[in-house]
Each structure stands twice: as structure tokens, then as C-alpha cells.
Amino acid sequence: MAVSTGKYRKKVVDMRMLKLEIRRILKTKLTIILLIAAVGLTFIMAYLPVTYVKTSYMDSEGNSIEVTGKDAIAYDKQVQKEIEGEITDSDFENAVRHYQECLSSYGVTKTNELPNGVYEKEIYPYEPLYRSIMYGFADPVTGIVPTIRDIPVEKAGNFYAECEKNLETLMKLEQKDNPKAQQDALERYEHVEKPYKFYPGYNTDALDYQILLSFVIMTLCVVIAAPVFSSDYQSEADAILRCTKYGRSKLATTKIISALLISSVVYAICIGLYLIISNSMFGWECTGTSVQMLYSVINLVNMNLGELQFCVAAAGLITVLATVSLTLFLSSRFKNVVVSLGISLMICILPIVFYIALPNDVATRVNVFIPSSGVGLVTSILSSLVDFVYLSVGKISVWLPYVMVGIGIIEIPVFVLGAVGSYMRYKK
């Protein structure tokens, strides 16, 4: 009975310490400002991609009308409603036939030679299919995209089989020394759900802004986490705290849990709000669109848009926690807040610097070990998901997204344990 009572009291004390530490972090003026800024930026960044949607059409009198934002989204949904849902081989075949017959009936070879209003009425409703067909039949060696006029109708009727052939050729070129990577890519594509699904209206800029928001939140969380240990060193409060009954390891653990918990909650709230606002404006039905219809039709990701959003969000959370964990480790090592914050912020932008300064293959291998790379503006998990990059060691080849997430998961406990150990060993 006494043992049980002791354990209960210990848990109560632990919870009180955690609450006090969370309250201590949250009540600072800087933290309050940063949290308000994070929520405000979430609303702004969720709305901005909508403003980038533009389209134009000819009215009945031959006047060119340009619409933007919600009006453009509504227009696309209305005009392209006929092709929404599953896109079969026959749909691609019929689209190519319609395109070629349309140009032939007007005696032209290019769409810009069509009479006013014809493109908007006859071609634009099938434009997403034409874009997919061109990239699906692009020359895997040169990357040259054919015109719809030059694609045989019967070949378009074997769209998915042709995509698989092009993927095989592409992987032999990009991973010529890694047959395992070639085989893995083909197996992944075989498991991609077909036929693809498409729902008009979505703009992929919204996914880019999701990554950008994750980067911003990560940076704000780093600013919040940097003083956790350093400020106590600087104010010499740690000398008092270490002398308490629950000093050293328990205190360090409490500080770390508080910072990680705050970071997780802030990230979840902001990204959750972002996705709710964004999907509401573009239309929730768009989340059923296959990733291949948004990016390259030859893609290894077996997901629709909604699943991709969740995957990117989850990977972003891992990135944020790994980066904050590293920040806490640096905070435990340096007694000056400015130093720990400066190094942490430098690490946030380091993947971008390496991407610009180093060859692509070298930058990729280096960046996977930098915690912040998962939400880097040019090195994100999203970029790796829509690419064919594999990292190979000997006979082992692993798809880049798996490497990035795996290393991020490993780094969190490594940096956390490092922070605890560093705090316990710290001497003035």
C-alpha cells in the first residue's frame, strides 16, 4: 500500500512539474507573440494558394474574361465535371481522338490557331487529361514531351501500360548501377491504384504552402525551445534548481517533454487548421484525386491527395520534433541563448544552402542527416515523394522518403538523451 501511495505521489509531482514548466514557457511574452503569429500565418497561407488559381474564357460575344480565386475554381469544376472520377484507358483514348478531330475539323495544327472560344469549349474541359498524356508519353531519355496531335489514338488507349514501360526505361537511366532500385520502383508502381482518379479545382501550390507553413512553425518552435536550458544557465537559476529534490535528470526530462509537447500541439493545430481551410476552399472532393494526376503520371506514390496531405503532415511533425530535439541539445550545451538560437536557426536553413552549393547527389546524401531537411523549401519530404531518388549502400537501395523519415525518428531520442546527459554534466 505504501509503495502504491509513493508511486501515486511521484506521478502527481511529475505532472505538477510538467504543468509548471509548460506554464513557464507559455507565459513569456516572446512565446505568446510567436504562437499568435503562427495561427495568423496559418490563415494567410491557407488562403494564398486560392488567389493563384486563374483561368480565362470567351463569352458569347467573343470577349476574353479572366477569373481568379474562388471563381476560377468554380469555373474549372463546372467545365471539367465530365472527366471527374476514374480515368480509364478509354477516357485517355477518347480525349486524344477528340483533340485531333477538333483540330482537323477547323483545318489547323495548333490550338492557338483555333477560332475564338473553341479552345475553351472543346479543349479546355479535357486539359488535365492532355497534360497527363503528354507527360506519360514523354521521351524518357530526352524528356521531350510530344504534342497530342502526334500521339496515335490506339497508343493512348494503352496509357497505363505505356506509363509502366516508360518508368522501366527511366529507372534504367537514373539508377543504372542499382538494379534493386529499378525493381523496387517497378513493384511500387504495380501497386499504385489504377485507374487514376481526378476531381477538378485543386492547385498544387496549396501543398507547397503546407510545406512552407511547416517550415515556419519549425522555426518558431526552435525560437521557443532555444532558451529552455540556456536561459537558466544565463540567469544562474539552474544552480538552484539542481539542488532541489527533483533536480538534474528529472528536471531535464520535464523541460524536454514540455518543449516537445508544446511544439507538437502548435504544429497539429496550425497544420490541422490549414488543411481544413484549404480543402474547404478547393472542395473536399479534390482530396480523392490521385497523386499522379497532380504531379507526374509516372509516380511511385500509391495515395490520393488527402492521404498525401496527411503523410506530409506526419513527416513534417517528425521533422519539427527532430529539429526541436537538436535545439534542446544545443541549449543544454551553451549557456548563451543567442548562441544556441543562432546555431539552431542556421541548421534550419542549412539544407537549402547545401542544395544550392553542392551537387545534387552529394546534397541529398548530406541533407538526410539534417533534421530540418524534411520541411526544407527545396528538400522536403513532398519533393522526395514525387521523385525517383534512391539511396544505395552496397546492394541495399532504399527510397529516399523512407530514409528521411527513418533518420528523423532515430534522431529524436538520440538528441533527447544527449540533452539530458549534457544538462546533468554541465558545470559553470
Q: Are strands 390-393 and 85-87 parallel, antiparallel or unpaired?
A: unpaired
CA-nearest of 74, 129, 122, 134 to 286 is 74
Domain range annotation of the chain: 2-50+202-425, 65-198
**Helices 29-51 and 205-225, packing angle to 10 deg:** 170
Q: What pLDDT score was predicted for residue 178?
A: 84
Query: What's the pLDDT score for residue 394?
Result: 76
Per-residue pLDDT of the chain (428 residues; tens, 9 = 90+): 445 555 655 566 567 878 888 888 888 898 999 999 999 999 999 999 999 998 887 766 667 788 899 999 999 999 999 999 999 999 999 999 999 999 999 999 888 888 888 888 899 999 999 999 988 888 877 778 888 988 999 889 999 998 888 888 888 887 787 888 888 988 999 999 999 999 999 999 999 999 999 999 999 999 999 998 887 666 555 555 555 555 567 888 889 999 999 999 999 999 999 999 999 999 999 999 999 999 988 889 999 999 999 999 999 999 999 999 999 999 988 888 899 999 999 999 999 999 999 998 899 999 999 999 999 878 899 999 988 888 888 778 899 999 999 999 999 999 999 998 888 776 55
pLDDT of residue 159: 92
pLDDT at 5 (0 to 100): 58
pTM (predicted TM-score): 0.90
Those residues with Cβ within 8 angstroms of residue 328's Cβ, 6 or more apart along the chain or in another chain:
225, 228, 229, 255, 256, 259, 415, 416, 419
